[in-house]
Amino acid sequence: MKKYYSIAFLLLSMCVFAQQAISFESAEGFSVGDINGQAGWISTPTGGFPENVTHQMISTDKASDGSSSLKIVKENTYGTQTAPVIGGFYNLSAPLANTNFSVSFDINISQLNGSDFGFQGINSIDDQFVVRLDFEKTGLVKILNLASGIQELISTPSAWLPNTWYRLKVVGSATDIRYYLNNVLIYTGTAASSLNINQLRFVHNNSLGSAYIDNIKINSELWVMSVKDSKAASREISLYPNPATDFLTVNSNTKVKSIQLYDETGKLIRTEVNNNKIEVKGLSAGVYMVNIKTEARNFTEKVIIR
């Protein structure tokens, strides 16, 4: 029996050891300045000199946990890239199995119509994506999925607004990969490859704007996601009609505290408080973002106004 207890203790110790939290604070060994070379992090390699880009920084401008965060921003030496590749890379001390992991973090993006920002779980040995999520400059949130052996970026029903903190979680199991935004399941798919993850990348395509990354947690939520799923299901929100001409109506199981309507540049157009309806009559036709705050959570969706 003693032998069994020892094995159980060893397994528990391994699980606890695999958990990690990063908030870019001085107590964790970070200092304000270039992220490259700090506590297991590098910035994007250049293939030349200097060896890595130099302006992906630990910053005290904004933070969701503590006083510091990772700020990823345009490198003026380089042009706009075709995909998010410039930013901070974290080299994991032990790889994550794509069938049993969780990674979560906070992100705050400065503007729409700037850079595409993203999170990538990579196998750096083979330079292959395992998981990937993009916050596109248009406000869309896209996921890299594998279907019939083909990798494809898939649009989700979620959207993002500038200067707002969002919490992203990615959870891998033996059956699927699940993506959560603000604790709400937004997509269930498959890993983009069957490889392990040994590097986490927080990146952009080097256009305009910046993003702040904070409160990263690794393997700390493997045991609670099924509970989260059931809670999220009970807080479903729907927005209709879409497209709209006169009014937008929110259907929610909990009280609607506010509805905010933004244009494509991120400018606040209208606000409705303590009401489940907002008037859109008279607005210019186009694409808008609606941010809904209820007693349960925040929800952002893209709408078309005619």
- The whole-number pLDDT of residue 212 equals 98
Q: Can you tell me the distance from the alpha carbon of 121 to that of 105, in angstroms, rounded to the nearest whole number? A: 13
| Mean pLDDT (whole number) for 53-65 | 97
- The whole-number pLDDT of residue 13 equals 40
- The whole-number pLDDT of residue 223 equals 55
Residue that has been written with the tokens 């958990």 in this structure? 19
- CATH 2.60.120.560 residue ranges for the chain: 26-218
Q: Domain 26-218: which topology?
A: Jelly Rolls (2.60.120)
Q: Can you tell me the distance from the alpha carbon of 245 to that of 275, in angstroms, rounded to the nearest whole number? A: 18
Among 15, 23, 47, which Cα is nearest to 214's?
23
pTM score of the predicted model: 0.79
| Tens-digit pLDDT profile for residues 127-181 | 999 999 999 999 999 999 988 889 999 999 889 999 999 999 999 998 999 999 9
| Mean pLDDT (whole number) for 84-97 | 96
Q: Can you tell me the distance from the alpha carbon of 96 to that of 121, in angstroms, rounded to the nearest whole number? A: 9
| Mean pLDDT (whole number) for 9-34 | 75
For residue 203, pLDDT beyond 80: yes
Residue 131 near residue 144, CB atoms below 8 Å:
yes
Among 119, 97, 194, 190, which Cα is nearest to 152's?
190
- Which tokens in the block code for residue 291? 């941010």
**Pseudo-torsion of CA 169, 219, 122, 30, nearest 10°?**
90
Q: Can you tell me the distance from the alpha carbon of 3 to that of 261, in angstroms, rounded to the nearest whole number? A: 62
| Tens-digit pLDDT profile for residues 178-190 | 999 988 899 999 9
Among 132, 201, 163, 136, which Cα is nearest to 64's?
163
- The whole-number pLDDT of residue 106 equals 97
Q: Residue 266 is which amino acid?
A: G
Q: Can you tell me the distance from the alpha carbon of 70 to that of 33, in angstroms, rounded to the nearest whole number? A: 10
10 vs 97, more confident: 97
**CATH entry 2.60.40.10 includes domain 237-305:** yes
- The whole-number pLDDT of residue 265 equals 74
CA dihedral sign of residues 288, 290, 291, 297:
negative
- CATH 2.60.40.10 residue ranges for the chain: 237-305
